[in-house]
Structure 1
Amino acid sequence: GAAEAGGGSGEGDAEQKKKALPTGDTDESFTQEVAIEKKIKWWHRKYQARKPRYFNRVHTGYQWTKYNQTHYDYDNPPPKVVTGYKFNIYYPDLIDRNEAPTYKIEKDPASPDYSTCIIRFQAGPPYEDIAFRVVNKDWEYGHKFGFKSSFERGVLHLHFNFKRSRYRK
């Protein structure tokens, strides 16, 4: 603790130690689609339905809670946790370009403890719905915290990070 850091007030040392801890922030490819029930669309005879292409990332990092600060250090970091997702789903051939694709959150039948949920992306013809299993936590909706929900040039962008739980002393 304070002896290795060269003494001084405990408050400043804690701040120095906190700054030295790695965040471990990384983006990794995320391609785990969830099989969903196919619904026959009203346009299925006119257009060949297909799944949209996508480029998704899962954002992971370390959470330096009091427990983790006590039990882990720089050389032996805590396990990484999911801190957010970035979904980029491509709809270049949408028939009705005025109707933006949407997303909705659904219960995950495979998760009895509600630790995960399903995020379903829906668009018009000629695209099928596509769904992914994500961690079920509260989202940060401020753009300063990385939230983005837009549909531009045929690409639906949905980027979000999870709220960090702040524990007070």
Structure 2
Amino acid sequence: MVAEEQALQREARKGMTDEEAEFSVEASLDNQVYLWSDKYRPRKPRYFNRVHTGFEWNKYNQTHYDMDNPPPKIVQGYKFNIFYPDLIDKSTTPEYFLTSCPDNRDFAILRFHAGPPYEDIAFKIVNREWEYSYKRGFRCQFHNNIFQLWFHFKRYRYRR
């Protein structure tokens, strides 16, 4: 199992740039009771997620920072890859739900639901508006038992 885990990590890190980092901040969900738990043993799916960070070169940062002294990095997007190899009903696509955090409005809870035998899994992410265009890198697909949700945040340009 250890060699399999290492092979999975190597494959998942392939193509990772300096602007990306591994992301695994899980949010706790309430104890859930599944109707199918007597038939199948509930388990969490495997996942490999990335967070895309970078600099925002707005007017303020251009005036006060330069490449030798860069501004603080901000989160620009996420890539979620969740593996569902043993999904019972392969005709239903896994889905995601986005809810804001009750204690902090700057964060949101992104919950993934697939069905038996997998439990729901949730992650705490930055609460900003998403860019849904394919050209900007949005991807939401379930292919080869892997659910991929990739998105970047909208960038707002200040114009007078």
Note whether the superposition's TM-score is higher than 0.5: yes
Tell me the residue number matched to 1:148.
Answer: 139
> Would the aligned equivalents of 1:87 and 1:158 in 2 still touch at CA under 8 Å?
yes
Tell me the residue number matched to 2:66.
Answer: 73
Residue 110 (structure 2) pairs with residue 119 (structure 1): yes
Match of 1:29 among 5, 17, 22: 22
Once residues 132 and 45 of structure 1 are traced to their aligned partners in structure 2, the CA distance between those partners, rounded to angstroms, is 27
Tell me the residue number matched to 1:106.
Answer: 99
> Would the aligned equivalents of 1:25 and 1:62 in 2 still touch at CA under 8 Å?
no
Tell me the residue number matched to 2:44.
Answer: 51
Residue 134 (structure 2) pairs with residue 136 (structure 1): no
- The superposition leaves residues 75-111 of structure 1 with CA deviations (integer Å, 9 ceiling, x where unpaired) of 0000000000000000000000001110010121231
Tell me the residue number matched to 2:80.
Answer: 87
Aligned residue type for 2:119: E
**How does the TM-score come out when normalised to structure 1?**
0.83
Match of 1:162 among 129, 153, 156: 153
Once residues 110 and 34 of structure 1 are traced to their aligned partners in structure 2, the CA distance between those partners, rounded to angstroms, is 13
> Would the aligned equivalents of 2:100 and 2:127 in 1 still touch at CA under 8 Å?
no
Aligned residue type for 2:92: E
> Would the aligned equivalents of 1:25 and 1:61 in 2 still touch at CA under 8 Å?
no
Aligned length: 144
**How does the TM-score come out when normalised to structure 2?**
0.88
- The superposition leaves residues 102-134 of structure 1 with CA deviations (integer Å, 9 ceiling, x where unpaired) of 0010121231xx111000000110000000000
CA-based RMSD: 1.2
SS at match of 2:109: strand
Aligned residue type for 1:154: N
Aligned residue type for 2:55: Y
How many percent of aligned residue pairs carry the same amino acid?
55
SS at match of 2:40: coil
Once residues 107 and 61 of structure 1 are traced to their aligned partners in structure 2, the CA distance between those partners, rounded to angstroms, is 24
> Would the aligned equivalents of 2:130 and 2:154 in 1 still touch at CA under 8 Å?
yes
Where has structure 1 moved over 4 Å in runs of 4 or more?
none
Higher radius of gyration, 1 or 2: 1
Residue 56 (structure 2) pairs with residue 63 (structure 1): yes
